[in-house]
Structure 1
């Protein structure tokens, strides 16, 4: 990678200066390489000289001059640096040799160099298992669920792009309170309103039964009965629960598929219990001092995982989370999650039975020997080297419990390889909340969605609304359908925020088509494609994939700005992969589209001397391919026209 190459050689130059000044051993300072805020200060800069002043006992400027001389003597980092500038009080500004960079990293036809570099950076990557979506199978999905899925799917695409082997799971909690409430609602309520989908019907049933719980608390005993029945299996209620859950999961999978989101495996919580995964995990945990059955107090009879540390201020709020088996014998969600993670890392020495759910998607299942023998066994699932769980910040404590259980069992390496990608929830702006009938007279900045109260924006309703806005506002119907543009717009809207940011959803903002939006990126890609097609038709560039590497002329400011940004694509990929942050890619793509717009306005691409036209067409091809890669990872289309 370009930045790492420069940093490594710079570190060697600093080390040599350290020795030349009479010091022994390794230089104690690790060189930091930054990207200057202003491009006139070069493509990279370092303050290493100022950090070394005390150790070298020399003025920072003098140290900077020593480092500069060393770099020049060594060939300015393999020819990649055109010049180095020392700036008081001791900065080193490095200016790239663009012709050398082009030969090394800017292959003919676009981004050949970028793809090779990305794969090379993760050649030793191990298997990564990503769990995301994991919606309770009791009603239709809403936009909060969609943020989870878009984040998870983008991480899947990102890690695959950077060379990792990735397996994608969707965990189905078919033994939990939410499904139990919906089953109680189906049995205890009389829903008469019309619904187009079963999930929408269950949405209203779920909200209705929770309102009845408030009126008649005794009705909640029915939930306990249902929970016992669906966990036991092989009874009327369990079969009803299975049918309801499967029907809704099929709707969820279909809906996510329209956003380009898919999975390798559906893991059902009931499989974990009925296939004996929890029983095996239970026996392992009983051998540790951390897992004990309480004999007295409010948790008497419960099996709990003793906590070495608690999250400050959250002990009372989350005290029940450390309970793995309640006194009535019902397992908590966390208990089953611990068993599931032992399996994810291949630590239970036991596997699920599997069957196809639909084309390309497998599901765990309880099969007899004859059924299992008739099915072709899928590619081995699990056995992960790294596990990533995409779950909102409210699940931080249970995620820490899973990690602690691994540590208690002596699996320190696996605990270290377990990562929780936490994110802020989606709430409603006052205007959006008001449109749903929520009382906003208290003047709050946002309003939480609540499935129990039936408050939220279903994904299908959001897509239809945004599609209508797109259809009414687009000047041309050429290229992508308004529905596809709407889906891309929604997906980008949910990805562009910092993960920890609470997304205050506002319908007006979600349907904007200018500024930092998915639509803006699609238009930029389509514009680059149109320019290249026109050039090919006119014979100006002889087709984008046949360009010889052009000589770089004296760069106009807009051209220099674009080249600088393009050169940072590999390190942006690496940073996003390391930090598991889709918004890093969003910011890069938006900045690239903005710089391309400036370039397009300032620099005639198809007019001028042939050498200049060839260079600008080559640059446009780089933009198209790099933006195309970013769109692909973000799960957005690459339209030929808009």
Structure 2
């Protein structure tokens, strides 16, 4: 991988220059490699010389010349660069030798599997089983599933968990609502019925605050189990989880195991963790104040929040004995890392998914080397408490391997909120979804709406069906934003099929497949005669459109490595969109099938290389790669 090797080599050269001048080598050297905006500066550029000026006390051009000389004669890059140039005020610009690059990378995997194969447990989705899933839940699932695909692509063993909070307030509210409200309507799904029930019971709480005591009673019954209310809660939760899994399956999202919160409590996982925490100095029972009787994880001197903030998040066991979500999450993570002597048992839940169950069978699940949790940014502090608990218990290595992938929530644009009946007279640009008020866009409704839009816009109906295209378009829409961005969901914008959209990528991929299919025999020749293809850029020269696609393809391995290392799906979306745009421009400006033999051979190879790269990227994003659209 050129970029990685170049980075390592420049670090070595910087160390050599510093040592030869009698200077100490800093722990982190300032090596930056860029892709020049202008073609005249090559494919790679570094400003390392200017970073070393202050220490070496030399003219940056002199330092750049020394860097160039060492790069030219470095065995790692023999033949890789056609030339290396120095440009004011001290840049070192490198020009790839395309013939060498084409031949060398023709049969090479863009991302070599990691040397150390680790087991990663990724937890995502984890929707409260109290109503239908909405688009905010879907963003979580799309991110989590894409991260799982990334790590699998890098060679890791990946296990996907979906945590089911069947002992929480939200399920309790729906159970109370089923018993105490009268919602009359025609529903095709149980979750849609529960959507209205949940909103209605929360309206009643506001009118009759004394009803909230029923929630507390239901919570006690759910946690103790083996009673009428616990059975009702289980039936509600199981049906809703099945509907949630059906929703996600149409987006290509699957799971390995469902971990039920009730299993953590009833199988003694929390009890064992509780005993371990009691032996530490940062876990105690409060004796006075509003938290009297509560067991609390206290802040240490490194706690950024101090003792006055996030008090409720620090409580692990309430004074009435009910466990908080954080308490159960700590026990869950102890098990994830294989730090408890206990193991779950499992039974099939359908579609290859295992589910924790006391009467099940043993499976080799858990015991992770690293744990990744996809949870929105509002849960950042509880996630810190889990990490802190691991550290307090002496599991620093595991704490270091616990990663919270935070993301911004999904809200509704003004136009979309107004279409749902939300009062937008205050003129805000976005409005939060609210399950308690019944405001939001259900996943099933969004897919159906998008399917109708796609169907209306299609001129041909070959290849993928409209529902599959709709699911791909929605998935890409939710992945293309930076993780920390609050997605202001606009229904009209989400249903666009041109520009930076999933539909645009699918059409572009299908176009490359169509070209290669039309020239099947030629394409085979083009892709096998790699020596003649490799000689084309130097012997004939490249058009700007050919060069732009070729250069972007050369950046695929390093882009993929960056995406996997940073767990950043949006960067992958950006790369694939830019690559598709360049390919479409190349297609529009350059004859392919009607070109002369040498150009046709090279351009068919370029189309094939584009198709293979797009297939790789689409697969990681969880999007289909259709031969026809």
When the two structures are superposed, what TM-score results if normalisation uses the length of structure 1?
Answer: 0.94
Are 2:159 and 2:256, in contact at CA under 8 Å, matched by a contact in 1? yes
Deviations 1:106-153 (A, max 9, x none): 32xxxxx1x3x4133x12131110000000011100000000000000
Deviates further, 287-296 or 65-74:
65-74
Alpha-carbon distance in structure 2 between the residues aligned to 1:610 and 1:588: 31
Task: Sort the Cα spacing of 1:232 and 1:596 in 2 relative to 1 into closer, same or farther, 3 A.
Answer: same
Partner SS state of residue 130, structure 1: strand
In 1, the alpha carbon distance for the partners of 2:307 and 2:281 equals 21
Distance in 1 separating the partners of 2:515 and 2:210: 69
1:395 aligns with 2:379: yes
For the residues of structure 1 that align with 2:209 and 2:10, how far apart are their CA atoms? 70
Task: Using the TM superposition, give the Cα deviation of residue 223 of structure 1 relative to its aligned residue in structure 2, in angstroms.
Answer: 0.3
Distance 1:240 1:317, change over 3 A: farther
Equivalent pair of 1:139/1:202 in contact (CA under 8 Å) = yes
Equivalent of 1:635, from 617, 622, 628? 622
Partner of 1:195: 187
What residue is the counterpart of 1:70 in the other structure? 70
What is the aligned partner in structure 1 of residue 115 from structure 2? 123
> What secondary structure sits across from 1:540 in the alignment?
helix
Give deviations 1:53-110, integer Å, cap 9, x for gaps.
Answer: 2333321111111222222233682211111111011110111111111122232xxx
Secondary structure at the counterpart of residue 310 of structure 2? helix
Aligned to 1:12: 12
CA distance in structure 2 between the partners assigned to 1:433 and 1:621 by the alignment: 44
Q: Which of 542, 548, 551 is the equivalent residue of 2:530?
A: 548
Shift of 1:568: 1.2
Give the structure-2-normalised TM-score. 0.96
Residues 241-256 of structure 1: matches in 2 within 5 Å?
Answer: 241-256=233-248
Counterpart Cα distance in 2 of 1:130 and 1:482: 30
C-alpha distance in 1, partners of 2:548/2:428?
42
- Counterpart of 2:83 in structure 1 is 83
Q: Deviations over 1:158-197 (max 9, x none)?
A: 1100111110000000000000000000000112111100
Question: Counterparts of 2:526 and 2:222 in 1: how far apart (Å)?
Answer: 60
1:398 and 1:25 map into 2 onto residues whose CA distance is: 42
- The one of 466, 484, 493 aligned to 2:450: 466
C-alpha distance in 1, partners of 2:422/2:526?
54
Question: Could you tell me which residue of structure 2 aligns to residue 282 of structure 1?
Answer: 274
Tell me which residue corresponds to 1:110.
none
Matched, 1:590 2:577: yes
Change in 2 beyond 3 A, CA 1:272/1:97: same
Task: Please point out which of 561, 582, 606 is paired with 1:574.
Answer: 561
Match of 2:519, SS?
Answer: helix
User: How far apart, CA to CA, are the structure 2 residues paired with 1:89 and 1:529?
Assistant: 45
d(CA) in 1 for partners of 2:7, 2:628: 41
| Residue correspondence of structure 1 range 55-204 to structure 2 within 5 A | 55-74=55-74, 77-107=77-107, 113=108, 115=109, 117-120=110-113, 122-204=114-196
The 1-side partners of 2:305 and 2:31 are apart by: 39
Q: Given the alignment, which residue of 504, 518, 536 partners 1:520?
A: 504
Instruction: Tell me, yes or no, if the aligned pair for 1:562 and 1:595 is still in contact at 8 Å.
Output: yes
2:490 to 478, 499, 506: 506
Deviations 1:328-372 (A, max 9, x none): 0110011000000000000012100111111311000011xxxx4
Quick one: distance in 2 between partners of 1:291 and 1:456? Answer: 39
> RMSD between aligned alpha carbons?
1.7
Distance in 2 separating the partners of 1:90 and 1:498: 33
Q: 1:14 to 1:220 in 2, by over 3 A?
A: closer
What is the rounded CA distance, in whole Å, between the counterparts of 2:527 and 2:87 in structure 1? 41
Alignment correspondent of 1:491: 475
Task: Provide the C-alpha distance between the structure 1 equivalents of 2:397 and 2:7, rounded to a whole number of angstroms.
Answer: 30
Q: 1:364, 1:87 → 2: CA distance?
A: 63
Q: Distance in 2 between matches of 1:548 and 1:73?
A: 27
Greater alpha carbon shift after TM alignment, 513-522 vs 576-585: 576-585
